[in-house]
Structure 1
Amino acid sequence: MGYRIAVVGATGNVGREMLNILAEREFPVDEIAALASRKSMGTEISFGDKTLRTADLDQFDFTGWDIALFAVGSEATKTYAPRAARAGCVVIDNSSLYRYDRDVPLIVPEVNPQAIHDYAKRNIIANPNCSTAQMVVALKPLHDRARIRRVVVSTYQSVSGAGKEGIDELWDQTKSIYNPVDDKPPSKFTKQIAFNVIPHIDVFLEGGDTKEEWKMVAETKKILDPAIKLTATCVRVPVFVGHSEAINIEFEDPLDEDEARDILREAPGLMVVDKREDGGYITPVECVGEYATYISRIRADSTLDSGLNIWCVSDNLRKGAALNAIQIAELLGREVLRKG
């Protein structure tokens, strides 16, 4: 016996990836519904070897459905997620709407699986921000060993984190560089993204941080440990898929790079590729389509009594969004719903 699963926002990048991963991981599905806005109704999308037609989200009745995977923006989620939750369908939401709600667990299964039991307060589970998700998977095993005091992270985030419009803008601007007649001024991003980097993701807050940077702080505290101090600089780079992060970690207890490397190699969800030679590290291009979060460039920070630098790379459409949501659904099935 399997589950009745609804994918909300099935025509978007993350929604399509959710369907791909459900099929790849052979999630026990008895019935699946691909839901989208009325303007996308009837669009054909793939689910394994099947073709699904999208149904109208506005008219959909969630009664009797087990899990709804939401991959739409906060405004649509605000309308439809409570409707699904009231109907008894557990919502796993990829938007930012519920991440900071005290009654909604924010989960990365490799990090805080025990939080799954808190879902019943609202019948909703939140998926973290893509940049946070891959980072906390790397931090968790190190924190368990030596207690993290402070983290300084700089992100190099791909345009797919801004959706299809971000991908299209990079593609169009790149072509226009070689064809000046066909000028493509910024519309999705604040400045030219082709052959450039932009130190600005989401809106600016009063203290000077952007909301993306604030999210990394708030979500790390909620998922991992509220005592960890963290500062972030989030940068959009001209990469289609795959977020990279340069992470500096200060520990309370001594931890050398060799032990850290061994710990990371054994940790769930991580793959260490760390050779001190040309090409002995992972770049975003190599992580596309992969489940793992990759760790490279593990080395001591000589300016601290106990500190490390690591390079962390992951497919943001997978671990940063769709894969994490499916892993939450798997965890929910194992620990709570117990079907399939």
Structure 2
Amino acid sequence: MRGVNYSFVETAEAAVAQFSKTGSSARYIAGGTNIYDLMKLGIEHPAHLIDISRIEGLDTIETSGDVLRFGSRALMADVAHDPVVREQYPVLAESLLKAASQQLRNMATVGGNLLQRTRCMYFRNGAGSSSMVGVYPCNKRNPGSGCAAIDGLDRTQAVLGTSDACTAVAPGDWPVALMALDAVIEILGPKGTRNVPVADFYRLPKDTPHKEFNLEPGELVTAITVPKSSVGRASTYHKIRDRESYAFALVSAAVAVEMSGESIHSARIALGGVATTPWRASAAERVVSGMVLTPELALEAGHAAFAGARTGRQNAFKTELGARVVADALMIAAQRRA
């Protein structure tokens, strides 16, 4: 049994100051749906939890300006059911509604969701676990120990963005939709505020898979902004999983398109469940840009999205499944054009 200090703060600035005072063993907490899980698994060992759930203004949902702006403490359920988000940006709403369970969506925050850690079985049950004897090497938990998944059970592992040190899938749905819409993350830290494009927020594993996010110690995500665009309406989040609810993606695709008649003027495609980070499929976007969309062209784009895939013994099915998910998502998005 480890003792944990716990404190509430009233402002984001007070939260950062408390972190600076406490040191790197502190963690921020809002909904708590992920950090408590990681603590039970022996992955996280915070000496101090800084509760930001009372900070006013961090839970706002703003849709009337030039951008959509979601405070980091806004609940997943509230964002998903916002009328503007639901009607004009279905890719965002669907990515939230297809994540977790209703109970979790009622507690989990959109800022915390960005920082989910992988559900790789070797990470969750790897060396250092306090709940069982650690027998699985995991470079995310114990840098330099190895990756048991590479020569182990890899059905749910990544096929894009992997390295010789890690093949763990990025688990989120919401970050994939944000990737497709070029979202920006607002961050407050000891050195002040900064804005980071979501594409730069996540780090590829390379040889340091334990470093997953481009956050400095003490930095706090305060908001997420999404540029307003007509492509939002013609969009979808298409997710394939082992069971219909409360399951992480085997493959998912967030797609938004801008149409000119029957032709696609531009497309934005991001992938989930198949990569070590939320993955932008630029090659697939180029295939359909300026073209009349047909099922055949959509499938060609899907295959282009996986051209660089690096498969293992049990997850090679993800490349063909993924191509078809992208193709279906393109057709769904195109049917929703205004």
TM-score for both structures, normalised by structure 1: 0.27
TM-score for both structures, normalised by structure 2: 0.27
Structure with the higher strand share, 1 or 2: 1
